[in-house]
Structure 1
């Protein structure tokens, strides 16, 4: 397995290691019965209450679907990267797509050293209403109690837990573009060594959000989309989604202007129809508007509706965008529209579909319906042949981006609009 491209600095590792003994201001624990209730369409949910001096702000997320996977009598160890740092970190575990309750034991959170190995002294037990195990009902999700101490932004956080019983129909994220470690039979969640972890996958299981206590001025951005947002085209463990590059840009700003960056992309997802995961209209409330501390959403979804659909005009997609805008404004969330990028040369391209893409982009640019426009199309298209991606931004299939293309998307975002 190749060594991950990005690592924590020595200073950041030292600070993370200090969480084992550091005393810090943390958010109060949620009541034992404070489970977030959600349904399959994401139509209801209960937000978290911030402490007096801090608010709960999202630092990482992954949109979930029902996975074709089975787990049982083994430990799961996943690695995710935070965007902003803070105190009193909480994780959320979801059984949204499960058909029966799921029990997880020995949940721990640490900082990655390398592979499945955890940095010495950082693996901390996690409780849920004071309990060391948690049972999550079908169609539900639950937040952990705050984990004392601080976690820096850009940390490679390791979440481990033991799954005692066989579970099928796992709630999770299909294309993590990150290595998840699975153990032989037994509970290895508290171990900081990599011993016992003999299998790997590239899926995330049950974990769908991480939040931290941050100053009340700190907020988060959610990127809502399909595979182009999910990160298609990157190598495993590279952390080169366009949202990762956006996080790098924000990280260079003064501390009071930084924001959490949350990825709500699902590869293959469509805005108007169920396909891979719930349709975008159905999951928008759950995956975006109930995120802790959300201020702005960037909508970059619709190319799958065009490339796989049989529409004769842009009207259905435009109507869908209007519904997203109405939902966002009802929650006082800013909503930015991303133009749809070229796919000439991809297998499903036709001239008729290209005309619909152009109609959609013209509406996004000129209607004034969104609070702002991010012209992704202009940023990555070939100036000599605008129906296709510029060669340096094309991963090779004429739809998905190279690393340079995903970086270019991030640099098309005007940070002042966030």
Structure 2
């Protein structure tokens, strides 16, 4: 096996001397090969559902995939992180480009940059490994939208993490540097891009938003960057006392604290998806609703409020051991959703009371109070409900982003 793109060259030595911050993420997870599981829905009738992320059809050989992302902080230089961490096979990258994104999958003329890997145009990523590109010196303003385009010369299994809130396109042939992708179709998954890092123009801190589909931004307007972490990034950059912060969204749909299915559990992915993010000094943790819901769907994996709180305590201890502060996000309401039960609501209420009053966290973001119906607090307010009584709409996500107290960030800025 040739470790193309992994041999250290002068560019890699230069990169090691720079101060990097994570400025975008779409964290990796695994496909789940488990058989269907039987779940009981709200009307009491059982049904069979996939246990996890079902494998998607492979990208054909000679395919180009373009994905649009947004930086949460201004940059002097950038690099990308590609992930092959959940594959048992090598991943061949034929060519990779990054450019300013225009509309409908096009790129801005004159903005295209070829990404190199240890000075080479392509790369071979070993099974189970990530790969960082060489730095690109490119001043970019905060909230810049970028198109990352990869050409796959071989048939390639797409990443398991479906693009719930981002846009991507797949097109035949090598069109990595094309302004417009010809014969392109929408892609459910992306191009193995797991992170974009920046050498900031003035920042020094990254906050990671660690959660499930409500953090990822499911049911928000696709491609509009309307998740609550996106809203938080906008607020941080608009305030001169907090512009030194970048934001990374480490949400995965259906993520649970204590069990892997249907995605890698929070306890097992915390080191990679939070503690390994460049510049991380704070994490906002919003988890638990799927542990509650799956307790009804799959009684064999039922958990208690005490088990959820103990798992959160483990993550707090691991973060504090690395000098990372933890803000606790309360669990938003879910009455009326398909997996609601009074027993689950009792667990949610107990966990939320603990998040607010235990003193375990370095701060609290009361997402529940910001989005619940004041007259029926077990439900999302009608104005913020996307329709399924579980995920907020764009308005609800904006309210969640506004519920994070910026004083928690200004305080750390002043201490530097």
- TM-score, normalised via structure 1 length: 0.85
Q: Gapped runs of 5+ residues in structure 2?
A: 32-54, 410-416
* Bigger strand share: 1
Separation in structure 2 between the aligned mates of residue 147 and residue 416 of structure 1, nearest angstrom: 33
| Aligned residue number for residue 32 of structure 1 | 7
| Aligned residue number for residue 249 of structure 2 | 263
1:146 aligns with 2:110: no
| Aligned residue number for residue 251 of structure 1 | 237
Separation in structure 1 between the aligned mates of residue 242 and residue 382 of structure 2, nearest angstrom: 38
CA displacement at 1:108 relative to structure 2: 0.8
- Secondary structure in 1 matching 2:312: helix
CA displacement at 1:215 relative to structure 2: 5.5
CA displacement at 1:190 relative to structure 2: 1.7
Task: Map 1:253-292; keep pairs closer than 5 Å.
Answer: 253-254=239-240, 257-292=243-278
| Aligned residue number for residue 113 of structure 1 | 102
- Aligned mate of 2:198, from 196, 212, 215: 212
1:354 aligns with 2:345: yes
| Aligned residue number for residue 103 of structure 1 | 92
Separation in structure 2 between the aligned mates of residue 307 and residue 95 of structure 1, nearest angstrom: 30
CA displacement at 1:285 relative to structure 2: 0.8
Inter-CA distance 231–256: structure 2 relative to 1 (3 Å threshold): closer
Q: Report the count of equivalent residues.
A: 371
Say what the alpha-carbon RMSD is for the aligned residues. 1.9
Task: Map 1:303-314; keep pairs closer than 5 Å.
Answer: 303-309=289-295, 310=299, 311=302, 313-314=304-305
1:384 aligns with 2:348: no
Task: Map 1:66-85; keep pairs closer than 5 Å.
Answer: 66=30, 68-69=55-56, 70-71=58-59, 72-85=61-74
1:57 aligns with 2:21: yes
| Aligned residue number for residue 367 of structure 1 | 358
Separation in structure 2 between the aligned mates of residue 201 and residue 307 of structure 1, nearest angstrom: 29
CA displacement at 1:372 relative to structure 2: 1.1
CA displacement at 1:172 relative to structure 2: 4.7
Inter-CA distance 195–278: structure 2 relative to 1 (3 Å threshold): closer
| Aligned residue number for residue 20 of structure 1 | none
Contact 2:100 2:112 in 1 (8 A): yes
- Aligned mate of 2:287, from 288, 295, 301: 301
- Secondary structure in 2 matching 1:161: strand
Inter-CA distance 312–125: structure 2 relative to 1 (3 Å threshold): closer
1:1-60 Cα offsets, whole Å, 9 max, x none, are xxxxxxxxxxxxxxxxxxxxxxxxxxxxx97349xxxxxxxxxxxxx9753xx5101110
CA displacement at 1:405 relative to structure 2: 0.7
1:179 aligns with 2:170: no
| Aligned residue number for residue 406 of structure 2 | 415
1:180-204 Cα offsets, whole Å, 9 max, x none, are 11112x2111222x14242111322
1:179-234 Cα offsets, whole Å, 9 max, x none, are 211112x2111222x14242111322210000111257521111011110111111
- Secondary structure in 2 matching 1:359: helix
- Secondary structure in 2 matching 1:262: strand
Contact 1:118 1:158 in 2 (8 A): yes
Q: Gapped runs of 5+ residues in structure 1?
A: 1-29, 35-47
1:302-349 Cα offsets, whole Å, 9 max, x none, are 101011115473111011001100110111111111111111111211
Contact 1:266 1:276 in 2 (8 A): no
Separation in structure 1 between the aligned mates of residue 183 and residue 29 of structure 2, nearest angstrom: 25
| Aligned residue number for residue 315 of structure 1 | 306
1:225-266 Cα offsets, whole Å, 9 max, x none, are 111011111122121111111111112111763411110001
